[in-house]
């Protein structure tokens, strides 16, 4: 099968590309390399250095004719989305619509769209959040990611373009950029290994559902054939505080300093974790990498890179 992966030089999507290649699929990558890294690219994949907002995107799909498009490319910085919501919307909404139009015009069978379970629900009314939880995002990022879900539904109903939506929690692991992406585990790991001060924003009692990148990859593999017209939460269904993450990383890295605490950031949910019953039952997916093991793998990746 020929698949096209947007953002395929980035943290999560490059791992997905590797898995697709290993599974025997022909893979095309679209990435403008604004945050992606050429070093992440699988040599078996064909790269087009194209922005998803560009008119050139249609030319790429018309030339390559992928059967499935995996849409990871996005603006993911929650804090910048609050400061500059128009920029966030230009990529996450307008860019996604541009992609869906290209898919419609070139006969793509299916889109796997990456949404955000960590940001779209807002402050939960109940925990863990299932897919039926009310959507009340606190940030433009959460709003923009959910908006595209409606477009996916519309394109399926009107044009027969199949979709599966994966709502990610907080993803961490190998290849995460501690500078360009909002990943607390990557940021802390980089600073701890260098012996630099670490700042926790807010009380540190904020809870997140942390999932290792390899478990997201598995869901993307399963979604190639399953889950038509469905939205799926990923995650462990349990919350881990930022203070707990700090302590786990402190042990894993041998860090000796105490954390600094700063003012909490606007637009961020205080406590969120996700119910994954639907994807477990329908796609037979389950997370396989516990937090401590995932942290150990991540720290080793950063040590090796250094």
Active site residues: 141
Q: Which residues pair with 53 in a beta bridge?
A: none
Taking each helix axis from N to C end, the angle separating 140-159 and 96-106, rounded to the nearest 10 degrees, works out to 20
Which residue pairs, CB below 8 angstroms and at least 24 apart, start in 22-31? Answer: 23/221, 25/1, 25/224, 26/1, 26/2, 27/2, 27/3, 28/2, 28/3, 28/4, 28/60, 28/64, 28/66, 29/4, 29/5, 30/4, 30/5, 30/6, 30/57, 30/60, 30/73, 31/6, 31/7, 31/73
A 10 A CB-CB count for 5 gives 29
Helix (H) or strand (E) holding 3: strand 2-6
SS3 sequence of 134-174:
CCCCCCHHHHHHHHHHHHHHHHHHHHCCEEEEEEECEEECC
Tokens 């700042």 belong to which residue?
Answer: 199
Q: What is the full DSSP assignment across 28-48?
A: EEE---SS--GGG--TTSEEE
What would the two tokens of residue 39 be? Answer: 């070093």
Taking each helix axis from N to C end, the angle separating 11-22 and 213-222, rounded to the nearest 10 degrees, works out to 50
The most distant pair of C-alpha atoms in the chain lies apart, rounded to whole Å, by 58
Closest CA to 98 of 160, 44, 63, 56: 56
């Amino acid at each position: 099968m020929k698949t096209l992966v947007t953002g395929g030089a980035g943290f999560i999507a490059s791992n997905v590309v590797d898995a697709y290649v290993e599974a025997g699929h022909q893979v095309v990558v679209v990435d403008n390399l604004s945050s992606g890294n050429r070093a992440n690219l699988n040599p078996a994949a064909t790269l087009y250095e194209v922005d998803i907002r560009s008119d050139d995107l249609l030319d790429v799909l018309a030339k390559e004719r992928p059967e499935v498009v995996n849409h990871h490319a996005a603006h993911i910085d929650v804090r910048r989305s609050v400061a500059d919501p128009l920029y966030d919307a230009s990529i996450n909404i307008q860019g996604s619509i541009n992609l869906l139009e290209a898919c419609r015009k070139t006969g793509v069978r299916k889109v796997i769209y990456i949404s955000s379970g960590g940001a779209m629900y807002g402050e939960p009314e109940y925990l863990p959040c299932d897919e039926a939880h009310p959507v009340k995002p606190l940030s433009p990022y959460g709003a923009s990611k959910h908006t595209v879900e409606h477009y996916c539904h519309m394109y399926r109903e009107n044009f027969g373009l199949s979709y599966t939506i994966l709502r990610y929690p907080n993803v961490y692991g190998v290849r995460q950029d501690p500078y360009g992406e909002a990943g607390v585990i990557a940021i802390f790991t980089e600073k701890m290994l260098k012996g630099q001060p670490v700042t926790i924003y807010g009380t540190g009692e904020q809870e997140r559902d942390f999932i290792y990148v390899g478990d997201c990859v598995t869901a993307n593999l399963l979604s190639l054939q399953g889950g038509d017209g469905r939205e799926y939460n990923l995650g462990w269904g349990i919350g881990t505080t930022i203070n707990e993450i700090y302590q786990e990383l402190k042990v894993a890295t041998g860090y000796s300093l105490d954390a600094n605490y700063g003012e909490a950031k606007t637009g961020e949910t205080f406590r969120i974790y996700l119910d994954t019953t639907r994807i477990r039952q329908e796609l037979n997916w389950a997370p396989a990498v516990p937090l401590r093991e995932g942290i150990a793998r991540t720290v080793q990746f950063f040590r090796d890179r250094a």
